[in-house]
Amino acid sequence: MALLRVENLQVYYGVIQAVKGISFEVNQGEIVALIGANGAGKTTVLHTVTGLVPAKAGSITFNGVDLMKTPAHKIVSMGMAHVPEGRRIFQELTVYENLQMGAFTRRDKAEIAESLEMVYAHFPRLEERKKQIAGTLSGGEQQMLAIGRALMSKPSIILMDEPSMGLSPLFVSEIFAIIQEINKAGTTVLIVEQNAKKVLSIADRAYVLETGNISMSGNAQDLMNDDAVKKAYLGE
């Protein structure tokens, strides 16, 4: 059974239909990518899954639970974390406080400390800067913090929205390496990216979104070799 299953999802902003009945699934342990151009509806899909945007129709099932009937603030404690587009860290809190917020729904102090250590192991720079106000971090460090904050909830699946946005090529490689590490450690990843080349190189499977519809899907390796994908998204 799929860990996350989205069926015939339809989302509207006012009268404009942003997502036109898409279906996809993510299995335990996979890295699944949603790729597509600006405005294809990738971010909207993630926002709908974690309850920030209401869906008009369709179904979202996570671990057998209907997420459409779950309030947004209850989703993280079910094991789903979301690294939103633009990072959206709490600028006025310190790095440490941001990580604390990531573990907001958890109560066991020893387990939280364990997660904190794990996050610091992935991102030593966050430990160095734990007392710094998050708004003063560089873009790459903020992205690390956003990912670290999501890991603090000890998720079974992590949704990532454009983790490479606005970062230098060096940082992009670092972030992608860490995403692979996180996945190897047992966390399922659903990732939205415009950097198709990069994301297809780490993903198991991918779906191509075009103006609210899924136009193609399959094994990441196959998609990377597909002529249409090459032409439209890989710039070859």
Q: How far apart are CA 149 and CA 94, in angstroms?
A: 12
Minimum gap (Å) between residue 48 Cβ and another protein: 13
Q: Does 153 bind another protein (CB under 8 A)?
A: yes
Q: How many of the chain's residues bind another protein (CB under 8 A)?
A: 32
Q: Does 52 bind another protein (CB under 8 A)?
A: yes
Q: Which is nearer to another protein, 72 or 234 (CB)?
A: 72
Q: Does 76 bind another protein (CB under 8 A)?
A: yes
Binding residues among 92-121 for another protein as defined by CB under 8 A: 92-93, 97, 100-102, 104-105
Q: Which is nearer to another protein, 150 or 214 (CB)?
A: 150
Q: Which of 142, 156, 188, 195 binds another protein (CB under 8 A)?
A: 142
CA dihedral (97, 99, 101, 105) in degrees, to 10, reads -140
Q: Does 68 bind another protein (CB under 8 A)?
A: no
The whole-angstrom distance between residue 204's C-alpha and the CA centroid of its chain comes to 15
Q: Does 213 bind another protein (CB under 8 A)?
A: no
Q: Does 148 bind another protein (CB under 8 A)?
A: no
- The residues, ordered by sequence, that sit 6+ positions from 24 with a Cβ below 8 Å of its Cβ are 6, 32, 34, 207, 214, 217
Q: How far apart are CA 45 and CA 11, in angstroms?
A: 8
Q: Does 164 bind another protein (CB under 8 A)?
A: no
- The residues, ordered by sequence, that sit 6+ positions from 203 with a Cβ below 8 Å of its Cβ are 31, 32, 33, 191, 220
Mode of pairing for the β-strands spanning 157-161 and 205-210: unpaired
Minimum gap (Å) between residue 171 Cβ and another protein: 15
